Structure 1
């Protein structure tokens, strides 16, 4: 069986999907957890299609060769199905995807796709659970900081986890990306950190501290700001995104 670029390309793409979805949790960098079965099925289908296509073409080639054995010698052995060698270059991106899966979106994306994900309008939020520090998602913290007229975070110690992103003026934030379906629709959640030195960009940290009110809820001055008591480096989670 003589491999062709089309078949090899399908196999590499299918293998890449199986690598990130079946044999690891890398798929969480790109899509939500519930889409895993579809990625696995797609990977298997691509490989199966490639193998079926290769076998079918190989049989057709042998069949045509047998019918042409008695033709003029000038035409014997001439391969009309030969692919240009440059077509093999198409397999390079698929091979790179298999060997070097792209990282999750980070500070570059967060700095350019800032979004509000709070409730539509101000109001009173439920009380936080008892005990300090209380773990909050960045979305929950930002919503309460911007829209909670009851100031439910006042006097409480909260703990947030995200990756580091910085502005040119030295202001730094912890951020996470909110996804509805996949990384393509990601929106940035950012909380400004004050009172502590900024770690390296894209480093994952857990910050413990207190909410700092910055303005009337619902106004442009109301921004999510945390006065840090401690900043701890942590490993990047297998699932780096927040979900709606």
Structure 2
């Protein structure tokens, strides 16, 4: 039995993980794990892995060490444990539905810790016309708020259909929440949370943490004396929405 485990475990694990990768790509869920720019490369590597695994299975021949004594018990235990962990991980990728990163991760990584202090982006936002402003996402607004809290800057720059998930403001969770998104550079491991504060007293009566919403409104001085955010969105409308097809910002 040990010889069989040794012989097939690597091929089975590689084949299973490659098949799961192809399944995620076919179902449109690969973007929940990696940046879309790497999709083609990842899919090609998975296809190559499947081809090589099939070729290895077809071409298997008798091993010269068939009658050799098995390795020490400790080595076998380590090898079996590693194979079991890899197997459980692979099965879990199929059985457990892929999920987006949420508030729990955002709180661990600190919202807006990675918001860019980008002078060029700020200058572009200063001269943006109404059509461009209407396309601003959480990333653009978070960058702007990092640069300035001057309310005159936000005049004639309304918030239009700003999409994100609900994350409580730690300094005043009763009245203020963030509309949040994760930005991804390579994969979900390096995802960083960005958020724009929204003043809506009693928001938790209407929305749950991690609910996805679309917000229309305008920026203004924060009425909350407890919140650390000087400028917030004063919403005209907060609409619950379904999870976007691409929940991350790339």
Q: TM-score, with normalisation over the residues of structure 1?
A: 0.75
- Cα distance per residue 1:120-164 (max 9 Å; x no partner): 469654334336992420111122233246844224421210011
Aligned to 1:59: 61
CA root-mean-square deviation: 3.3
- Partner Cα separation in structure 2 for residue 224 and residue 7 of structure 1: 56
Q: 2:15, 2:50 within 8 Å by CA — same for their partners in 1?
A: yes
Aligned to 2:154: 153
Q: What pairs up with 1:16-165 in 2 under 5 angstroms?
A: 16-21=20-25, 23-56=26-59, 58-61=60-63, 86=80, 89=84, 90-113=86-109, 114=111, 115-120=113-118, 124=123, 125-130=125-130, 134-148=134-148, 151-159=152-160, 160-165=162-167
Q: 1:132, 1:158 within 8 Å by CA — same for their partners in 2?
A: no
Q: TM-score, with normalisation over the residues of structure 2?
A: 0.74
- Partner Cα separation in structure 1 for residue 107 and residue 143 of structure 2: 19
Following TM superposition, by how much is the alpha carbon of 1:182 offset from its aligned partner in structure 2, in angstroms? 1.7
Aligned to 2:218: 210
> Residues 46 and 4 (structure 1 numbering): CA distance in 2 closer, same or farther, change over 3 Å?
same
Following TM superposition, by how much is the alpha carbon of 1:78 offset from its aligned partner in structure 2, in angstroms? 5.9
Aligned to 2:186: 181
> Residues 16 and 53 (structure 1 numbering): CA distance in 2 closer, same or farther, change over 3 Å?
same
Greater Rg by CA = 1
For structure 2, the residue ranges without an aligned partner over 5 or more in a row are 223-227
Following TM superposition, by how much is the alpha carbon of 1:12 offset from its aligned partner in structure 2, in angstroms? 0.9
Following TM superposition, by how much is the alpha carbon of 1:192 offset from its aligned partner in structure 2, in angstroms? 1.3
| Corresponding pairs, count | 221
Moved more, 31-40 or 167-176: 167-176
- Partner Cα separation in structure 2 for residue 81 and residue 48 of structure 1: 30
Higher normalized helix content (fraction of residues)? 2
